[in-house]
Each structure stands twice: as C-alpha cells, then as structure tokens.
Structure 1
Amino acid sequence: MQKQKILVVDDDAMLRTLLTFKLSAEKYSVLEAPDGQQGLELARKELPDLIVLDSMMPVLDGTGTIKQLKSDPDLKSIPVIMLTARREESDVSEAMSLGAADFINKPFNPDALVQRIKRHLDLPTSGLQSAL
C-alpha cells in the first residue's frame, strides 16, 4: 500500500521539520514548502492527500493559496488544515468559507494535529466538509 502524502506549507522551518518528523513516524510521506507559491507548485506536481497550510507567509499567504487550490479542478477536493497565530473569529470564518476542512490556532500540540490529520484522511471525501 502506498503511503498517504501530506504537504506541509509553512514559512517556519523548525515547525516544518517537527511536523515532518511526527508525520513520518506515523508512516506518512511528507512534502514541505516554505510559502504558498512553492506549496501550489508541489501540490500540482505531487497531488497530496492532505495539505497543512499556514495562514501568514511571504510570497503567497494562506488565503491566496487556498483560493487557488480550491479553484483548481485537480486540487479542490484535497482537504486543507489551516494553521494561524491569529486569534480572530473572522479568520476561522474566512478560512472555512474558502474551503478549509479544519482550522488550528498556533501554538498547538503536534500530536493533536496528527490526530486531526488522521481523522480527515479517514473521512469519506464526499462528506468531508459536513462531517466536521
């Protein structure tokens, strides 16, 4: 069985390394990108099973990235978990309205994120948004 692919898009190299370590230990194949533009390029090339996306990044932020992901027929069904250090309720609403499957505030427990990733990957694709 082929490993499920997770794309981690975050400008924080230490966080990407930590998540890669945690997710690799769970037998996922992990791809990394430091900004939204590189994340989009990797997503188009690799077609990951799930994307973990930071909201605040240089070059192309999370909002711009998710808009492009969800407008691409090949990528729009990939679940996206948004990460942010901002605590505004409007950020959660905006991310969810753009098509995010989940939203996690930083700082967060990496093990809890791994559990959410597992949950999203186990959900049937057709009921992903409504099941949350």
Structure 2
Amino acid sequence: MKKKILLVEDEPTIQRLLHFILSKEFDVQATANGYEAFLWLEKQEIPDLIIMDWVMPQMDGKSFLKCLKVSGLYCEIPVIVLSASENIIEEVGGLPYTVNQCLHKPFDPLVLKETIVSIFKTPTYGFVN
C-alpha cells in the first residue's frame, strides 16, 4: 500500500508538479491552504507525511504548523516545508515546534524524493529543526 502524502500548496502549478513527481510512488492528496488541509484531515485518515507551503492564503504555513503540532491527533505527522523565502530555515528554526525538513523553491525533485524516502526510513520519523 502506498504511503499517503498531504500536499498543502496554494499555487496550482506547483500542486500539479508535485502530484506528477510523487503520485507514482505515493498517494498524494492536495489542498490549497491550511484551513482546507484541516478540513481534509477531519474527514480522511491521517497521512504519513505533510508537504506544505509557508506562504498561503486563509491559513498560512506558520499558523497551520502551530495548529498541527499542538494538536494531540496530528502532532506526530512528519512535515516538509517548501518556501521561496530565503529566511525560511531561520523562521522555522525560531519556532517552539519542529519540522523534518525545509526546502527552498525552486526545489530539486530528486532531493525532495530523497528527503521523503529518508523520513520514511527513519524508524520513528524523527523530528529535527
């Protein structure tokens, strides 16, 4: 059975690109912002990984990540943050909760896949800043 990835990305082009890159190996579900992602999470089973944009409408990445990490139900889901911000590592690193990886846009699809495989190979899906 394929691992399930929830993609939280507001740019349709990037959504389609990520779906194309990942859908052969993973079950990829996409939402356009943090608010839609939480609606999806309430109705579906918990994904194995969340790949999220940092700058989104309605509920941005920082707000979504905070809600995710303080929840009892979703706090253990591994998270990869994608962002065009040059300071994303500092922004995420300054938060009281952690993510598994931050990747800059434009990102290398092979590096993204390697990151995902590495997270899934980690016995506890270990969290790092």
Length-normalised TM-score, structure 1 = 0.88
SS of 1:57's partner is coil
SS of 1:129's partner is coil
- Residues matched between the structures, number: 127
CA distance in 1 between partners of 2:106 and 2:54 (Å): 13
Deviation at 1:84, TM superposition (A): 0.8
Query: CA contact under 8 A between 2:49 and 2:77: conserved in structure 1?
Result: yes
Query: CA contact under 8 A between 2:92 and 2:98: conserved in structure 1?
Result: no
Q: Deviations over 1:99-126 (max 9, x none)?
A: 211111111112211110111111112x
Structure 2 residue aligned with 1:103:
102
Alignment root-mean-square deviation, CA: 1.7
Where do 1:1-132 residues align within 5 Å? 2-26=1-25, 28-44=26-42, 45-88=44-87, 89-94=89-94, 97-125=96-124, 128-129=126-127
Q: Deviations over 1:50-78 (max 9, x none)?
A: 00010000000000001011111111000
Give the counterpart letter for 1:20 in structure 2.
H
CA distance in 2 between partners of 1:110 and 1:21 (Å): 10
Question: Is the helix fraction higher in 1 or 2?
Answer: 1
- Unmatched 5+ residue regions in structure 2? none
CA distance in 1 between partners of 2:127 and 2:106 (Å): 24
CA distance in 1 between partners of 2:90 and 2:118 (Å): 25
Give the counterpart letter for 1:55 in structure 2.
W
SS of 2:30's partner is strand
CA distance in 2 between partners of 1:76 and 1:32 (Å): 19
Give the counterpart letter for 1:91 in structure 2.
E
Give the counterpart letter for 2:40 in structure 1.
L
Deviation at 1:13, TM superposition (A): 0.8
Length-normalised TM-score, structure 2 = 0.90
* Superposed structure 1 runs of 4+ greater than 6 Å apart: none
Deviation at 1:92, TM superposition (A): 3.9
SS of 2:120's partner is helix
Identity of aligned residues (%): 33
- Unmatched 5+ residue regions in structure 1? none
